[in-house]
Amino acid sequence: MASNVLDQILGRSAPGVIDEIVRIAEIPAPTSHERERAKFVHGRLDEIGGWDDLAMDSLSNVVAVRRGQAGRARLLLCAHLDTVFPDSATPVRRERGRLVGRGVGDNSTGVAAMLAVADAVQRAKPRGIGDLIFVANVGEEGRGDLRGVRRVVKDYAADFDAMYAIEGHALNRIQTHGVASLRYEVSVATEGGHSWHAYGRTNAIALLARAIVALEPLMPSPTATPKTTMNVGVIRGGRSVNTVAPDATFELDIRSVEPANVDRLLRTARTAMRQALGGEAELTMKRIGNRPGGVVPPTAAVIRAALHARKGLGLPEPEMNAGSTDANAAVAAGYPATCIGVTTGGEMHAEGEWISTKPIREGVIFVGRTIVGAASMTPQAIRQ
Ligand SMILES: [Zn+2]
């Protein structure tokens, strides 16, 4: 049976996947600078071969199209290329049962698993499945604002019925809510001047600090439901130690599983910050991110396909969670979509990021079975 052949190929691929994760992770790919990593992935897909189309678009999204049987579900399968780390030092350490390094799980593991499944499908040639569009996309993290996947969803709008995002860390989580988020750059500008000669003028850093302090009482409780968060993530400003700061900026991130909460909290925050400034300077807010949200019910076919694959492999009950992944863009555009994972690990977005290597074998089989299971359905069935 084709699915057994697929399992066998994927099972044997695990050591190769681990090496591939290291190779991918060691190619720097900060958001907006993914081109080198994209070229590597394009090269790997080219080696696998047999595609009906293989292309890289102007954003450096890499897309490989495999035509399947008409009348079966067509799937978009995305793994993001970019990492949150701004510079290029990306060494990976191999420890007992672990890989440790920046972006090793998020999302080098997702990309490597996507390549392993692409390779296995081309070799096993499972019958009775619809088109598969494999994508390694840019711009998922931070200020990338899902711009890579948004472009792919738009360009291939008529060519797929459902979407899966593949993330390295999320083996035991399945995304049911796409967390909506808004991101703003909040700035204060003043005249500034010499810290001695112009002493007494309004200091933009001091004013901005006041605005930030005014946000504190508005921060939602970590245990509130629906979960809603507000974070001050980056702060910068000023010219030198002996200058009355003429400018200061911080970046604000507001998220919720309930999209309406995001807008409400933003309005409250804006009012509180303006009041805190007491008219001493203008507060400007520039939107730098707007991630759409939406809900996919746990009973949706895309999720049932993943649960069915887990059951067959004896994987534990997953945590059904709210996430902010490439799946959000597809959900917001009206497609059923979720995010599935490959292994477990920790310290995502931190210097000590790590993944466990042992679950990778089952993880790639899980991803492969989910995809083949979903692509075997009819287009009507996968949309339910
Ligand atoms: Zn990620």
Q: What's the whole-number mean pLDDT along residues 118-129?
A: 96
Please give the distance, rounded to the nearest whole angstrom, from the Cα atom of residue 236 to the centre of ligand 1. Answer: 26
Smallest Cα–Cα separation from 329: which of 156, 145, 56, 170?
A: 145
User: In the chain, pLDDT over 70 holds for what percent of residues?
Assistant: 99
Please give the distance, rounded to the nearest whole angstrom, from the Cα atom of residue 170 to the centre of ligand 1. Answer: 9
Residue 89 has pLDDT above 80, yes or no: no
Please give the distance, rounded to the nearest whole angstrom, from the Cα atom of residue 107 to the centre of ligand 1. Answer: 5
Q: What's the whole-number mean pLDDT along residues 297-304?
A: 94
Decide: 155 and 55 in contact? Cβ < 8 Å: no
Triad 67, 169, 153: Cα angle to 5°: 35
Q: What's the whole-number mean pLDDT along residues 229-235?
A: 96
Please give the distance, rounded to the nearest whole angstrom, from the Cα atom of residue 330 to the centre of ligand 1. Answer: 16
Q: What's the whole-number mean pLDDT along residues 22-38?
A: 96
Please give the distance, rounded to the nearest whole angstrom, from the Cα atom of residue 325 to the centre of ligand 1. Answer: 7
Per-residue confidence (pLDDT) for residue 3, from 0 to 100 = 60
Residue 1 has pLDDT above 50, yes or no: no
Residue 256's DSSP bridge partners are: 180, 228
Please give the distance, rounded to the nearest whole angstrom, from the Cα atom of residue 306 to the centre of ligand 1. Answer: 19
Please give the distance, rounded to the nearest whole angstrom, from the Cα atom of residue 148 to the centre of ligand 1. Answer: 13
φ/ψ of residue 263, rounded to 5: -65, -40
Residue 326 has pLDDT above 80, yes or no: yes
Please give the distance, rounded to the nearest whole angstrom, from the Cα atom of residue 132 to the centre of ligand 1. Answer: 21
Please give the distance, rounded to the nearest whole angstrom, from the Cα atom of residue 96 to the centre of ligand 1. Answer: 24
Please give the distance, rounded to the nearest whole angstrom, from the Cα atom of residue 228 to the centre of ligand 1. Answer: 20
Per-residue confidence (pLDDT) for residue 145, from 0 to 100 = 87
Query: Side chain identity at 150, as an amino acid letter?
Result: R
CA atoms of 267 and 248, how far apart (whole Å) = 21
Task: Give the pLDDT confidence of 253-281 residue by residue, as tens digits.
Answer: 999 988 889 999 999 999 999 999 999 99
Decide: 113 and 364 in contact? Cβ < 8 Å: yes
Please give the distance, rounded to the nearest whole angstrom, from the Cα atom of residue 165 to the centre of ligand 1. Answer: 9
